Amino acid sequence: GDLDPGAAARDLQRGISNMSFEELLELQSQVGTKTYKQFVTANSTKKQVSRPPIQSPGVADKHRPLEMSAKIRVPFLRQVVPICKKVARDPRFDDLSGEYNPEVFDKTYQFLDDIRAKEKELVKKQLKKHRSGEQHEKLQQLLQRMERQEMAQQERKRQQELRLALKHERRAQAQEGHRPYFLKKSEQRQLALAEKFKELRRRRKLESFLSRKRRRNAGKDKRQLPLSKE
């Protein structure tokens, strides 16, 4: 019967897969390079189609665990669940906290003055119970620290009141049509010192304050003197 060209081509393709390298070179020289490439390409395409599909590594389903390659060493510390990093916020330097206003601050936390006064009275009562000993020394130091803090707070309030009075005075001058005068820092310090002396004189503590200041200045002058050479 007649030779089927398709069957002959299939037989030739099956034969190519079993040929050695020398036989393939001989076949290429007989049929030509173009025809040889067609047979080889068709044979390789058929092999690729017959192979099962290779699954890509990774997660096939989002609910399945992640498949790790055995060739890669697993790190000692591995982040399994992503953690949101908390960013610390300092309210002193954050714009979200607003600007510092001493007047508003004092009005808001005015109740702390009453708490400090009660704590001071409690320390005084405890100090009367412990006339001597280590507990007496601790209570005495605590009372002195509380008094220093109270004096510093009063001084800060006096300076704040002085600045507020100067501000009102400049505003009144501007309303009257005069050019407001802004005090220098040295003049502001002198006014603050004058107000402090006035307050100390009212509380009858000016002499003790001046005496401590003289002793402090004398000690400072003594340290600055050159050492005498013998």
**Which residues fall within 8 angstroms of residue 91, CB to CB, at 6 or more apart?**
97
| Rounded-to-integer distance, Cα 151 and Cα 196, Å | 11
pLDDT tens per residue across span 190-228:
877 787 787 778 777 777 878 888 888 887 777 776 665
| Rounded-to-integer distance, Cα 154 and Cα 161, Å | 10
Residue keyed to tokens 């669940």: 81
Q: Where are the chain's structural domains?
A: 5-47, 102-182, 184-220
pLDDT confidence bin for 141, thresholds 50/70/90: very high
Is a pLDDT exceeding 90 seen at residue 122? yes
Q: Where are the beta strands (DSSP E) in the chain?
A: none
Q: How many residues does the chain have?
A: 230
pTM (whole model) above 0.85: no
**Which residues fall within 8 angstroms of residue 206, CB to CB, at 6 or more apart?**
197, 200
| Rounded-to-integer distance, Cα 145 and Cα 133, Å | 19
Is a pLDDT exceeding 90 seen at residue 118? yes
